[in-house]
Amino acid sequence: MSSLPLIQRPRRLRSSPALRNLVRETHLRPGNFILPLFVSEKVAEPVAVKSMPGVFQLTEQALVAEALAAHQDGVGAVLIFGIPAAKDALASGAYARDGVVQRSVRAIKAAAPELLVITDVCLCEFMDHGHCGITHFDGERAHVVNDASVKLLAQTAVSHAEAGADIVAPSDMMDGRIGAIRSALDAAGFQDTPILSYAAKFASAFYGPFRDAAESAPSAGDRRSYQMDAANSNEAIREVALDLDEGADMVMVKPGLAYLDILWRVKHEFGAPTFAYHVSGEYAMLKAAAAQGWLDEKACLLESMLAFRRAGADGIITYAARELARWVG
């Protein structure tokens, strides 16, 4: 049988690994991946997070070891979350000089000065009620007080910078916090500490497992009065524009795979360094399916990371950062 008279045959460039390699448009490097780590004042040894296989609440010592190992694997940075022994209504542990995050950052920077350390700037892990700001309750309704919370967030960011954090990453979604954090950092002499803003952060059920890991679930109410409505895309663009105007150096879209359209728009409208968060629920789904033998974990993780990169992410925050860095290194 004779061939069809086809001039365009896209399959020509797919015929061997070498050809596919030659025309590949998107690449993964170890430095693309940022590893979130949980350090807890409440544990005497690492405690596994049930809903996130492979993730642990770490002691300060184990945290340093894990950060060093991640550095060896070539990850781009680590992102630190702290769980304090005691919580209160003003999140005082969040901005304490010797708080769990501040001590941990000092310890990591002493052990691995070259490793980039990012701190999550939020109050929820330190508030007795689990909300991301100062909160008044009216029965089941939680009213988060924006401007007073922003002051505490700015204090928190400065205390992280004082401890040696290379980058601060506010994840609270209060209005005006980027500008307030920028001026507080500048006033304290940290003009050169960059801000990675969780700029378009949606109220998402995919954060469920994280709240087990960070012990930060709200005791009443939900986060819908400050995190974004999953239905909105134009609003995400407005949020990112505001944060860049207020001085964000880098922006983040969160969650990940279900929000690739937002990621694409943000990268293409602003061209700023843009990050995506492959969040706890996404990680948990993959791990659970892989444990059943229903999905190939490595292949699905790599494919997911390519999707983030294709959509415009410069880097991806993922609980699988160490494995990924090794696989692509």
Q: Which of 26, 29, 36, 25 is nearest to 277 (CA)?
A: 36
Which tokens is 81 given?
A: 């979350």
User: Contacting ligand PBG (CB under 6 A), which of 38, 126, 190, 210?
Assistant: 210
Closest residue (Cβ) to ligand PBG? 210
Give DSSP secondary structure letters for 14-50: GSSHHHHHHT------GGGEEEEEEEETT-SS-EE-T
CB of 274 to ligand PBG, least distance (A): 17
Q: What are phi and psi of 236, to 5 degrees?
A: -65, -40
Counting beta carbons within 10 angstroms of the beta carbon of residue 185, is it exposed (0 to 12), middle (13 to 18) or buried (19 or more)?
Answer: buried
Candidate list 254, 267, 287, 298, residue with the active-site label:
254
Part in contact with ligand PBG (CB under 6 A); list of ranges 87-95, 104-112, 205-213, 231-239 = 205-213
SS3 275: strand
Q: Is 151 a catalytic residue?
A: no
Q: Is 254 a catalytic residue?
A: yes
Q: What are phi and psi of 170, to 5 degrees?
A: -70, 130
171 interacts with ligand PBG by CB under 6 A: yes
Nearer to ligand PBG, 122 or 142 (CB): 122
Scan residues 212-251 and list those touching ligand PBG (CB under 6 A). 223
**CB < 8 Å & 24+ apart, contacts of 232-236:** 233/261, 233/262, 233/265, 236/199, 236/200, 236/262, 236/265, 236/266
User: Contacting ligand PBG (CB under 6 A), which of 83, 101, 122, 134?
Assistant: 122
94 interacts with ligand PBG by CB under 6 A: no
Q: Which of 201, 157, 195 is nearest to 273 (CA)?
A: 195
CB of 289 to ligand PBG, least distance (A): 18
CB of 191 to ligand PBG, least distance (A): 26
Nearer to ligand PBG, 224 or 326 (CB): 224
List the beta bridge partners of residue 58: 39
Binding flags for ligand PBG, 277-316, as an x/- string (CB under 6 A)? --xx------------------------------------
Give DSSP secondary structure letters for 307-318: HHHHTT-SEEEE
174 interacts with ligand PBG by CB under 6 A: no
Counting beta carbons within 10 angstroms of the beta carbon of residue 108, is it exposed (0 to 12), middle (13 to 18) or buried (19 or more)?
Answer: buried
Candidate list 50, 87, 151, 201, residue with the active-site label:
201
d(CA 119, CA 170): 8
Part in contact with ligand PBG (CB under 6 A); list of ranges 38-46, 110-118, 119-127, 135-143 = 119-127
CB of 174 to ligand PBG, least distance (A): 11
Part in contact with ligand PBG (CB under 6 A); list of ranges 66-74, 117-125, 180-188, 288-296 = 117-125
User: Contacting ligand PBG (CB under 6 A), which of 105, 132, 266, 301?
Assistant: 132
User: Contacting ligand PBG (CB under 6 A), which of 73, 120, 166, 243?
Assistant: 120
Binding-site residue total for ligand PBG (CB under 6 A)? 11
Give DSSP secondary structure letters for 105-160: HHHHHHH-TTS-EEEEE-SGGGBTT--SS-EEEETTEEEE-HHHHHHHHHHHHHHH
Rg (the chain; Cα; Å): 21
Scan residues 15-74 and list those touching ligand PBG (CB under 6 A). none
Catalytic annotation, residues:
201, 254
Give the residues lining the site for ligand PBG (CB under 6 A).
120, 122, 124, 132, 171, 207, 210-211, 223, 279-280
